[in-house]
Structure 1
Amino acid sequence: MRIIGGLLDIHMRAQIMARYEVGSEEWHHARMDRLGGSEIAAVLGLSPWESRFSLWHRKQGIGAPTVETDEMRWGRLLEAPILAEFERRHAGEFDLNADGITLANRERPWQIATPDGILIHPEDAGITLGIVEVKTARTADGWGLEGTDEVPVYYRTQALWYLDALGLSVAHFAVLIAGSEYREYIVRADADEAAILRDAGAEFRADLEAGRRPNIDAHSSTYQVIRELHEAIDDITVDVPHDIAEPYLAAVAALREAKTAAAQTTAIVADFMGDARRAYWDGEQIAMRVPGRGTAPPFVRYTPPPKAPKTLKETSA
């Protein structure tokens, strides 16, 4: 892989901040009063990993930094070979800078970008052609036809945020699915969607400065942060008001009923399937029998419908 040292400022729109190891203390500190591409999805409530609530608290210095999961770790370890494959397939089209630098928009220094790779004109290092983002996925859910812009919406927001920050037009995605299927996608800058992102980012920063805490939502990271905020267990009693207690008790009862119904209907589906592997209804797969652990018999697993790629405009509608 050819690594280009020294990168000129991109189209005079952004300036180089520094190079930080992703997840390091310096990396987290540099982002405290800024917003990166993966964070803007959380601001909009689109991130699978972070909620607006949890991000707000982490930006306030409350709660522990996001812990790297096994999935995140393997994605980081596979980044170099996936980039190498991307470069091999585009040999001669551009030079690749994969130094992991962080750049900030000149007009909005709080809008930062840390692309996995920056694509530079092979004959003129002063011309930047675009960026490349590397992703790994267990399944193809959320990914559309190869060569299109049909990527999961939380990755689309990341690409659009970077393009807007850097003043660029094209973001390539190099994706490894299920460990062996390589695909590429292209997302192009969109002025309307970029405006949505900028406005959302500015509003979030205003909430941070004013100390306006976001509402509690159903995201798992929201509950995780609340747990971190109250690690002690004091031997005291609190009286919970009706507007908190009643929805909680209703949800617990509904969950209990849903679990009972799911157990019964799963058994009925399993009985109907017999030794079949897959169950279809109305042309769509709804369940699959999979092997049990060790000597345990097979069990039925629900098959969710494929996730259709969405655009930011669709989620905002």
Structure 2
Amino acid sequence: MKEILKFPPAPGSPEWRGMVSASKVPAILGLSRYTSQYRMWHEMAGNLEPGGIDENVAAWGHIAEKSIAAWWKHQNPGWQLNRPVRGNTELAYRDTNLPFKNVATIDRRAYNRNNAHADRFHIVECKTARSLDDWGRPGEEDSVPADYYAQVQFQMGVTGIKTASVCVLAFGQPEIHRVEFDATIFRGMVERIEKWCCSLRDGTPPPLDSSVATYEAVRGLHPDIEKGTRVDIDHTTAVDLATAVQREKEAKAAARLAKSTAADLMGCAQYLYAGDTKVATRVATKSTPYVKFSSLKSLGGHCE
């Protein structure tokens, strides 16, 4: 049964940590750009505190949400947005038929009384971004980044609302990306999440990966140093580990040289091109311009 929670568990509370929320789904599926499966598993298992959120970033997100939602309403005549309750415009749902504890909080719920009952509601998610490099253009296939797409599919599956708009503000006016519910994708997500929850009960964490989030999680799991103790490994493993670190140093040095070379070639130009393909861009934020390379894939190359 799908129902609205009047008093959903507070983020970070013990009850919330054990639940599958829409915001956790991208990490559970290995799609998050901001954290890893390994870290999320240990957070949900209670072994690590949830990652901290920059208060200013969070505050800006809530402030911007009001104008982004108002823009969506302006672009969609005939629709209304849910009114705030106790100053809060978010709505939290759960689906008791799913095989795990869940909560899906949506930024806004739009409604249109002129539509048939099944199409009366619409989810409006409001995002801010520093750039739109990870986004396609509205109307294009796969225009929404995979982590946000997974989050919204989960929200639609839990709420029963079959359409959503992901609105993103980077610069200029917000972009509105429409997303339709895909029952097949949602079923696949539920199956994977159920296996994830089984791994939590069994105490079997995901394997290590190369992300910064996982490295920080491992460090956080072992904050103490037991003086005088040691761990022994075989010679092959030792060489593999040391070689990887040495290659990182060499790769960083090669990357710095590549950026210096590109900056020297570009001079005061903004872009570096090879034929019709953009190779790099000079970008200025708060300091002198720096070089940002395009992906190797865009050049038709591949990593060895």
Give the structure-2-normalised TM-score: 0.84
1:46 to 9, 20, 31: 31
Q: Which residue of 2 aligns with 1:311?
A: none
Once residues 103 and 30 of structure 1 are traced to their aligned partners in structure 2, the CA distance between those partners, rounded to angstroms, is 15
2:47 to 38, 62, 66: 62
Cα separation, partners in 2 of 1:300 and 1:89, compared to 1, 3 Å: closer
Report the AA paired with residue 20 of structure 2.
Answer: L
Of stretches 243-252 and 33-42 in structure 1, the one that deviates more from structure 2 is 243-252
Contact 1:79 1:135 in 2 (8 A): yes
* Number of residue equivalences: 289
**Aligned ranges for residues 1-317 of structure 1 at < 5 Å?**
13-20=1-8, 23=11, 25=12, 28-69=13-54, 70-97=56-83, 99-108=89-98, 110-122=101-113, 128-148=120-140, 150-178=143-171, 180-242=172-234, 244-290=237-283, 298=288, 300-305=290-295
Identity percentage of aligned residues: 25
Cα separation, partners in 2 of 1:14 and 1:211, compared to 1, 3 Å: same
Once residues 96 and 256 of structure 2 are traced to their aligned partners in structure 1, the CA distance between those partners, rounded to angstroms, is 57
Residue 234 of structure 1 and its aligned partner are, at CA, apart by 3.0
Contact 1:97 1:119 in 2 (8 A): no
Q: Which residue of 1 aligns with 2:301?
A: none
Cα separation, partners in 2 of 1:97 and 1:195, compared to 1, 3 Å: farther
Residue 107 of structure 1 and its aligned partner are, at CA, apart by 0.4
Question: What CA deviation, in whole Å up to 9, does each residue of 1:184-204 have, x standing for no partner?
Answer: 011101121111110111000
Give the structure-1-normalised TM-score: 0.81
Report the AA paired with residue 281 of structure 1.
Answer: A
Once residues 194 and 222 of structure 1 are traced to their aligned partners in structure 2, the CA distance between those partners, rounded to angstroms, is 27
Cα separation, partners in 2 of 1:161 and 1:253, compared to 1, 3 Å: same
Alpha-carbon RMSD across the aligned residues, in angstroms, is 2.8
Point out where structure 2 has 5 or more consecutive residues left out of the alignment.
Answer: 299-304
Cα separation, partners in 2 of 1:60 and 1:131, compared to 1, 3 Å: same
Once residues 57 and 48 of structure 2 are traced to their aligned partners in structure 1, the CA distance between those partners, rounded to angstroms, is 22
Corresponding residue SS for 2:51: coil
Report the AA paired with residue 259 of structure 1.
Answer: K
Once residues 283 and 92 of structure 2 are traced to their aligned partners in structure 1, the CA distance between those partners, rounded to angstroms, is 44
Cα separation, partners in 2 of 1:289 and 1:86, compared to 1, 3 Å: closer
Contact 2:106 2:124 in 1 (8 A): yes
Cα separation, partners in 2 of 1:181 and 1:120, compared to 1, 3 Å: closer
